Amino acid sequence: MKKNNKGGLTGIQNYLRVDEIKNGLLFLKDGSVHKILQANSINFYLRSEDEQNVIIGGFQEVLNTLAFPIQILLQSRKIDLESYLESIEGNISKEQDPLIKSNMESYLSFLRDMVSSASVMDKNFYIIVSYYPSVIKTSFLDNLFGPSKKNVTNKEIIETLEVLEQRCNSVKLALESIEVICRELQTKEIIELFYATYNQDVVKPDLSYNDIS
């Protein structure tokens, strides 16, 4: 990474609001602490009109019951399926059963037609749960992960972690009522999310033929 004349690092890191990502927590430079939940999707348009109305009403109720703000992030990226298609071709050449081989060839033909006519998109849904502790961020982080530089009590650190955990649990429980299940991203997953956000290349999913049912 390049350095400027004063010896400081240059690059996109200088412009990001992110200060630290550790222990499944996202720290921003404004002093806020965040957890990120990944939510599953539901087949809304395959539901009946009555079921759709129930889901919409349930989501409205979820938003009304939360006593704190949340952010909802949708990440949509184009998927490169070429390596997946090549793996299917390899499996077809090895298949001995004529019926299975015929089905695999039909499946491959279907995928190639689909890819040629439209972009295949991968969509992921995230919920950002935030908390603004009444402590200086650098001091809070030092107390949590290293030597203390300022006078911040363990009580304040524990309070921040407890509030975030309670908020995450509230979001999870509320969304379960409309069949949306959430899980907390870990440190590596948060870093990968930021990398994918700022590197707009196509996604190459880790798939095998047996992954598709």
Q: How many CB atoms lie within 10 A of CB 213?
A: 3
3-state helix, strand and coil shares in percent for the chain, rounded to the nearest 5:
50, 20, 30
Question: What average pLDDT does the structure give for the chain?
Answer: 79
Alpha helical stretches, state H, the chain: 49-65, 82-94, 98-117, 137-145, 154-176, 187-198
Q: Are 135 and 152 contacting, i.e. CB atoms less than 8 angstroms apart? A: yes
What are the extents of the domains in the chain?
A: 12-77+122-201
pLDDT at 11: 57
Q: Say what percent of the chain tops pLDDT 70.
A: 75
Amino acid at 184: E
pLDDT at residue 203 tops 90: no
pLDDT at 79: 74
Residue carrying the six token digits 């989501």: 59
- The string of pLDDT tens digits covering residues 50-65 is 999 999 999 999 999 8
DSSP 31: S
- The string of pLDDT tens digits covering residues 35-48 is 999 999 888 888 89
- The string of pLDDT tens digits covering residues 88-125 is 999 998 988 989 999 999 998 988 888 777 767 778 89
Give dist(CA 123, CA 133) in Å, integer.
Answer: 32
Residues whose CB falls within 8 Å of the CB of residue 52, separated by 6 or more in sequence, listed in order: 44, 45
pTM to 2 decimals? 0.68
- How many Cα atoms occupy the beta-carbon half-sphere of 105 within 13 Å? 11
Paired with 9 in beta bridges are: 3
- Residue 25 or residue 144, greater confidence: 25
pLDDT band at 145 (very low <50, low <70, confident <90, very high): low
Q: Do you know the residue count of the chain?
A: 213
- Residue 11 or residue 84, greater confidence: 84
Q: Say what percent of the chain tops pLDDT 90.
A: 31
Give dist(CA 21, CA 10) in Å, integer.
Answer: 19
Alpha helical stretches, state H, 95-186: 98-117, 137-145, 154-176
pLDDT at residue 183 tops 90: yes
